[in-house]
Amino acid sequence: MALYPLKFEPIFKYRMWGGNKLKSELHKDYEEDCIGESWEISDVEHDESIVASGNLKGKSLKELISTYKDDFLGKKVYEQFGEKFPLLIKFIDAKTPLSIQVHPSNEVAKERHNSFGKNEMWYIMQADKDAEIIVGFENDTNKKDYQTHLENGKVLELMHHENVSKGDTYYIPTGRIHAIGAGVLLAEIQQTSDITYRVYDYDRVDASTGEKRELHNDLALDVIDFKRQDSYKTNYVSELNQSNQLVHSPYFKTNFLPINGEIVKDYSTLDSFVILMCVSGEASLICNNIDYKIALGETILIPATITSFKIEAKQAELLEVFM
């Protein structure tokens, strides 16, 4: 059966900090309260994505990789990752702040959890007035100062707080302490990993359990990077009808693609699947004379064997993700 551009059923995740923007802003369809995450493409165990439409409807991401191998992933990607999909793609809605947290590197995650590490990036889609994120430290610090502030409930004083607005982009390498603040809706691209070390959670009680959430301070202490950075935000240009480099890391590459009119994409030299996330407007992806629509809050995966197609839009902004 021939491969085609694929949409998957979103996997909705209850989070104590979740709101309703995934429904009100991105038009996701669910009934539950406090949905904080929509996992758009996932190969996390027990949370594998399922194809939403077309001849392959009902097939899991795992089944697709097992069947189509490098036609699906790309030769280089398949050689490196085998039948594991390397990325986890999400939309996140923070009604209240997320915990202060950090992620381990590939090496530490493999040793401790038999998992990939968790390098990730955020693209801010919408932010309420004065909404902020926490990313890194305001000044260089060290384990001793950090632990003292943590024990005294003042760890937030060490953090770098930054107001955000639509289009702001941040790369969060492993070891960088971070948190999404209240009122932020964003797209997240990350390695396939669900390993998070939570270090501070505002002493909150999770209404779903009646208990405070577990902290992982011992695990976190030796993975945190205590050095401040001069800048945490990713600067990029936004040229219309072009793929503009956003975050190019060793773990994934993301471009910003604003479209008004039509463009032809040629991936013949890429050797990777491509993921398109619609972060504004809507577009038509024309492939083999079939029109695949992608609207705000939707995600579509282009298998590696598809190397050329046309995109048409009156006004759309896409994130273009590949390996």
Count of residues in the chain: 323
Instruction: From 186, 161, 252, select the one nearest 19 (Cα to Cα).
Output: 186
End-to-end Cα separation, the chain, in angstroms? 25
To the question of whether residue 216 is assigned a binding role by annotation, the answer is: no
Please say whether the beta carbons of 316 and 262 come within 8 A: no
Choose, from 112, 176, 198, 213, the residue flagged as catalytic. 198
Residue among 180, 211, 181, 216 at smallest CA distance from 198: 216
Q: Which long-range contacts (C-beta less than 8 Å, at least 24 apart) are formed by 68-72? A: 68/3, 68/303, 68/305, 70/304, 71/3, 71/303, 71/304, 71/305, 72/3, 72/273, 72/303, 72/304, 72/305
How far is residue 311's CA from residue 265's CA, in Å, rounded to a whole number?
Answer: 8
C-beta of residue 150 within 8 angstroms of C-beta of residue 217: yes
Q: Of 56, 320, 1, which is closest to residue 311 (Cα–Cα)? A: 320
What is the rounded distance in angstroms from the CA atom of residue 285 to the CA atom of residue 209?
Answer: 44
Please calculate the CA angle 315-321-323 and round it to the nearest 5 degrees: 160
Residue 178 assigned ligand-binding role: yes
- Interstrand relation of 211-212 and 205-206 (parallel, antiparallel or unpaired): antiparallel
204 belongs to the catalytic site? no
Is 120 annotated as contributing to ligand binding?
A: yes
- Backbone phi and psi for residue 307, each to the nearest 5 degrees, phi listed first: -110, -5
Spatial CB neighbours of 55, under 8 Å, sequence gap ≥ 6: 1, 4
Which residues participate in the annotated binding site? 103, 120, 178
Residues that are catalytic? 198
Which residues participate in the annotated binding site for Zn(2+)? 103, 120, 178
